[in-house]
Amino acid sequence: MSERSLTPPEIFEALRRRVVGQDAALREVAVAVSKHLLGHAASNLFLIGGSGSGKTTILRAVEELLRADPRLAGHATVVRLNANLLAELAGRGQQSGAVLERLAAAARAQLGGQASAARIKAAVEHGLVFVDEIDKIRSHVGDRPNVTGIVAQESLLTLMEGETQRLQVHTVDGPETVMVETSRILFVAAGAFDELYDQVLERVSKVEGQKVYKMVPRADGSVQRLLSFKLARHLQHADLFAYGIVPQFLARFSAVVTLRELSTADLVAVFKEGPDAPYASALAYFRGHDLDLRVTDEAMTYIAEQAAMQPRLGARALREVFGRIMRDLEFDPWGSGLVQPTADGRTELVVDLETARARSQR
Ligand SMILES: Nc1ncnc2c1ncn2[C@@H]1O[C@H](COP(=O)(O)OP(=O)(O)OP(=O)(O)O)[C@@H](O)[C@H]1O
Ligand SMILES: [Mg+2]
């Protein structure tokens, strides 16, 4: 193993500290990043997962992992951008070069202001480009073509086809033009594709007449009809074309990776331990008032279950559910009757199941 690389298990374990419940996707990301660090041709990934399933969290985790390792400097320059920005640039006719310019700026920030044009060029050629919200650059919406989306996909496609591009880089000696060979840049695109689920469900059930329900007997002898449809199992490239991803563009990705819907147990973990865990910020807030917040395990499970019931928000619903429970407590915890001294002389604010239930329904 080159000293400038990381093994897939090393990358996987590092990402897993930040990302809950997406092990299968993290394995694919880990292999793609490891190959990239070894200098292999890019195995670009296309991530699909519902809102709040962890797509942006994964992209951020990879970016921070690579940035934090000084051995990788110059081989792991990352830009993470929102596809909306590409659409905006496309609308102004300025899209060409914007991604490479950003990579060059990131490389310069990483290598220092003294970096030569040759070093910046090498860093750009070994760069990683993460395009979030890729579903916002559809080529059409319904029957109407979406011109900025088409142009934005084309501009990415040009880079992914590995052509040589002219790029102006800024060095201490002023601007210099270099020719950049883009075939080794790793692209990871991610998007929620909100309507894709219904679209594929309709194709599978109505058009193809496949069974998407299974009949499950209940204890009392009656039969319950449960939806057994899983997007990951039925998704085909043609569904993404129908959604507005141009075939030539999709063809530049080695794999389409679908993220899971987070379970209640996953949501509890995100609530307690995730990178922006709502619980951690509440603990810090009340500690500032000399109070030790304690949300009981039963209350946490309740919060996760309530969040899971909200359609298509994933972990994003945790903050909303918890916020509702805590709203009045944040204003006046002392007057709530929930503050109590502990045996070891601390003061606790306890939110148990009963409190969580009552306050979430106010
Ligand atoms: N799998 C996960 N592991 C850890 N935290 C997560 C996970 N999924 C979501 N979260 C948390 O939920 C919030 C939203 O997650 P994130 O931004 O990754 O969602 P997303 O999949 O990008 O959704 P969207 O499609 O709406 O952009 C963040 O605060 C994040 O910390
Ligand atoms: Mg996101």
Single pTM value for the model: 0.92
Domain co-membership, 252 together with 326 = no
**Residue 111 resides in a domain:** yes
The Å distance, Cα 313 to ligand 1 centre, comes to: 9
Q: Is 21 in the pocket of ligand 1 (CB under 6 A)?
A: yes
Q: Whose CA is nearest to atom 26 of ligand 1?
A: 51
Q: What does the pLDDT profile of the chain (362 residues) look like in tens digits?
A: 456 689 999 999 999 999 999 999 999 999 999 999 998 888 999 999 999 999 999 999 999 999 888 788 777 899 999 999 999 888 887 766 889 999 999 999 988 889 999 999 999 999 999 999 999 999 999 889 999 999 999 999 999 988 899 999 988 888 999 999 999 999 999 999 999 999 999 999 888 888 888 888 888 888 888 888 889 899 999 999 999 999 999 999 999 999 999 999 999 999 999 778 999 999 999 999 999 999 999 999 999 999 999 878 999 999 999 999 999 999 999 999 999 999 999 999 999 999 999 999 87
Of the candidates 261, 326, 336, which has an alpha carbon nearest to the alpha carbon of residue 299?
Answer: 326
Candidates 67, 16, 77, 186; CA nearest to 8 is: 16
Q: How far is the CA of 20 from the centre of ligand 1 (A)?
A: 9
Q: Which ligand is nearest to the CA of 49?
A: 1
Ligand 1, atom 8, lies closest to the CA of: 54
The domain boundary, picked from 215, 240, 258, lies at: 258
User: Does the beta carbon of 55 sit less than 6 angstroms from any atom of ligand 1?
Assistant: yes
- Which residue CA neighbors atom 4 of ligand 1 most closely? 19
- Residues 127, 246, single domain; the answer is yes
The domain spanning residue 298 has which CATH number? 1.10.8.60
- Which is the closest atom of ligand 1 to the Cα of 60? 18
Last residue of a domain, one of 224, 243, 258: 258
Domain hosting 272: range is 264-360
Sheet strands (E) in the chain: 45-48, 78-82, 128-132, 140-141, 144-145, 164-171, 174-181, 186-191, 213-217, 223-227, 255-258, 292-295, 339-341, 347-351
Helix/strand/coil (H/E/C) assignment for every residue in 68-94: HCHHHCCCCCEEEEEHHHHHHHHHCCC
The total domain count for the chain is 2
CATH number at residue 104: 3.40.50.300
Distance 61 CA to ligand 1 centre (A): 11
- Residues that place a CB less than 5 A from ion ligand 2: 55-56
Nearest bound ligand to the CA of residue 61: 1
Let me know whether 240 and 283 are in one domain. no
Asked whether residue 93 falls in the same domain as residue 181, the answer is: yes
Between the CA of 56 and the centroid of ligand 2 the distance, in Å, is 4
177/289 same-domain check? no
**For residue 185, which phi and psi values (nearest 5 degrees)?**
-65, 130
CA distance 35 to 322: 41
Ligand number nearest CA of 48 is: 1
22, 48, 56, best to mutate for ligand 1 pocket (most atoms within 8 Å of CB) = 56
